[in-house]
Amino acid sequence: MLKLNKTLLLASNSPRRQQLLRDAGFEFTVKVKDTNEDFPKTMPVEEVPAYLARKKAEAFRDELGSQIILTADTIVVIDKDILNKPKDASEAREMLRKLSGRQHQVITGVCVMTAESTESFIDIAEVFFRELTDWEIDYYIETCRPFDKAGSYGVQDFIGMVGIPRMEGSYFTVMGLPVHKVYEALSKYFVN
């Protein structure tokens, strides 16, 4: 395990983020606080994920101590529209039809906060979907239940495996945590 000079707290319920951080060699605890995810409607879409990640980190401001708080937020953007987590199967189907045969962006924002400093950043990946059939979309929604995923899909799930012929950028950013950038941000806390 990588040794840090502070304890690391991941403020995310996402099993994918937890697995990625674990696989990258970090020891951490998980704690989540409900945070209002509203943002100014006039904010440029590429600023939204870092804004929301920072908002999630700010919820821990009073209990920072000697911890590093790590938060993240991922959005899917197509035609300048943000596709959030779907409310139900009907909304998931609508989102996947919109993404079918098209290119879109996945933007993950990250915030690393300590008592001494706050750093936030984004990473962007361009994702290309082939045309998806109604059967594939319905099968995916039924078997993978993508209701906790921005844009109604997980790149590591069935629809990502069969429907994404290529992407430009980090696979892990699309999964929800740009590990290369998180590693770089946390490297200043390494104990040699």
Helix pair angle (179-186, 15-23), 10° resolution: 60
The answer to whether 9 and 191 are in contact (CB under 8 A) is: no
Kind of pairing between the strands at 166-168 and 29-30: unpaired
Exactly one of 38, 73, 123, 148 is catalytic; which is it? 73
Q: 3-class SS at 118?
A: strand
Give CA–CA dist 83/88, Å, rounded.
13
Q: Phi, psi (5° rounding) for residue 127? A: -120, 135
125: phi then psi, degrees, rounded to nearest 5 = -125, 140
Phi, psi of 34 (to 5 degrees): -60, 130
Cα torsion 52, 57, 60, 64 to 10°: value is -170
Count the neighbouring beta carbons within 10 Å of the beta carbon of residue 170.
Answer: 18
Beta-bridge partner residues of 110: 72, 121
Q: Is 73 in the active site?
A: yes
State the catalytic residues.
73
